[in-house]
Amino acid sequence: MRLLILGSLAGPLAAASRLAIARGATVLHADSIDEALRLLRSGEGAGLVLADVRLDVATLVARLAGERIAVPVVACGAANDTRAAVAAIRAGAREYLPLPADAELLGALLAAAGDESYAIVHADPRTAQLLALAERVAPSDASILVTGASGTGKELLARFIHARSRRAGARFVAVNCAAIPDALLESELFGHEKGAFTGAVARRIGRFEEADGGTLLLDEISEMDPRLQAKLLRAIQEREIDRVGGRQSVKVDVRILATSNRDLEAEVAAGRFRADLWFRLNVVALAIPSLTQRPKDIPVLARHFAAKYARANALPVRPLSAAALAALQAHPWPGNCRELENTLHRAVLLASGPIIEADAIVLTGGRASASAGAGSGGDDGGARVGRTVADVERDLIIDTLRHCFGNRTHAATILGISIRTLRNKLRQYSGEGVAIPAPANVAPAGAPLLCL
């Protein structure tokens, strides 16, 4: 994880810098917005900007957007300065970090934005076979397409491959093609020249050049606009890119990994994805099974998540009862590992006593396993009769978001829609006066693990 701290490195910000380094982050520093933008344009790159609230956060956010630099901004300042915190959020900051920084909260922000070291938690033979294949192909420079349902751990498998490749000592750069608007994605990938568009006040290095010598992950590539797919194909074939507004090609040495939760062959047949690009990406295909197809992974992952969130919330690490494990094994897990993680997070908070019992396992749809019965039908469809499709869809989206503790990315994955679609829906509901669950500020303990 690369963190850019914007502001004077004195007092609480210096302490925050030391905490970030202790968490494994690479810390960059800039005293001014101009210097921060120069670093971001130059290819130094950062997964998160931590900006002193005494600076002009609104100008920083506007200039980042104007130059098509997609990086989240977290404002920081005195814990008791409520007005500054509200103003920073309204100006476009994603979060407000009170200073002096809490180590766990800062760790949560870094984990949400960053690329940390990943261990592997699994027990199922199908997972072991997949990882053995991934290890065999990792040392090559072949493009690899990782497919699987939402929440199965596609990006984490890509990081696993990079860590075992000949490029492990170089940069791993991930781009979420679904999370970045089409108008910004071209500049994000290829960079731009000064004057290429309104707001392009200087040359900006894109993700291809940032990843030179290393690995570039194109996450959820099926969401990419077909026009941009053509430019990507040329970059892969020719090993060179053209910055937006540029007149001279730039040579790059990048290994491409891509992920998709869709059947790309079907997307090609439907005309939504270029066949020639699919052939280029699909040199090696790794398909991650859904969680229910590798049932022996469920109990070991459940115990891991229970311990992780117990430590995060300063609670004792408690075992899962046989009934709780049976309920987990019987559930279909449409959201896969991500849904399992959220379920155990909630169970840790709800459980009472020395063991996590079945009544703390609240599954999708709000059913507690003890009352609904593990694997029971639950959710009587008759309750939906007489309601409009729009109403049912709204309730499903809000319930799923609440189930994910307000995490938009996780909710979109479970729902099987893009983060962009989810944000549009939430904006619509908010305008209609519907209460939208806010993201929870619960910090995970330690580095996230590969949910395979």
Q: Are 125 and 245 contained in the same domain?
A: yes
Q: Are 101 and 30 contained in the same domain?
A: yes
Q: Are 326 and 314 contained in the same domain?
A: yes
Q: What is the pLDDT of residues 284-314, one digit of tens each?
A: 999 999 999 999 999 999 998 998 888 878 8
Q: How confident is the model at residue 409 (pLDDT cuts 50, 70, 90)?
A: confident
Q: Contact 301/451 with Cβ under 8 angstroms?
A: yes
**Which pLDDT score, from 0 to 100, does residue 291 have?**
94
Q: What is the pLDDT of residues 218-270, one digit of tens each?
A: 999 998 998 899 999 999 999 999 999 888 899 999 999 999 999 999 999 99
Q: Are 314 and 438 contained in the same domain?
A: yes
Q: Contact 400/412 with Cβ under 8 angstroms?
A: no
Question: Worst-scoring range by mean pLDDT, 146-160, 162-176, 397-411, 430-444?
Answer: 430-444
Q: Are 299 and 441 contained in the same domain?
A: yes
On the question of pLDDT at 281 being above 90, the answer is: yes
Place of tokens 């169970």: 347
Q: Are 351 and 284 contained in the same domain?
A: no
Q: How confident is the model at residue 387 (pLDDT cuts 50, 70, 90)?
A: low
Going along 330-416, which residue ranges are E strands? 362-363, 367-368
Q: Are 285 and 309 contained in the same domain?
A: no
Decide which of 73, 94, 113 is a domain's last residue.
113
Q: What is the pLDDT of residues 62-90, one digit of tens each?
A: 888 888 787 889 999 887 778 888 888 88
Q: Are 276 and 310 contained in the same domain?
A: no
Q: Are 178 and 244 contained in the same domain?
A: yes
Decide which of 267, 289, 311 is a domain's last residue.
289
Q: Are 306 and 276 contained in the same domain?
A: no
Domain total in the chain: 3
Question: Residue 391: which CATH number?
Answer: 1.10.8.60
Q: How confident is the model at residue 440 (pLDDT cuts 50, 70, 90)?
A: low
Q: What is the pLDDT of residues 117-128, one digit of tens each?
A: 455 688 999 999
DSSP string of 262-298, one letter each residue? S-HHHHHHTTSS-HHHHHHHTTEEEEPPPGGGSTTHH
The backbone torsions φ and ψ at residue 76, rounded to the nearest 5 degrees and listed phi first, read -140, 150
Q: Are 282 and 216 contained in the same domain?
A: yes
- Boundaries of domain holding 329: 293-451
Higher pLDDT pick, 431 / 191: 191
Higher pLDDT pick, 201 / 59: 59
For the chain, the average pLDDT equals 84
Q: Are 157 and 210 contained in the same domain?
A: yes
Calpha distance 108→282 (Å, rounded): 34
Single-letter amino acid, residue 322: A
Higher pLDDT pick, 406 / 334: 334
**Which pLDDT score, from 0 to 100, does residue 289 have?**
95
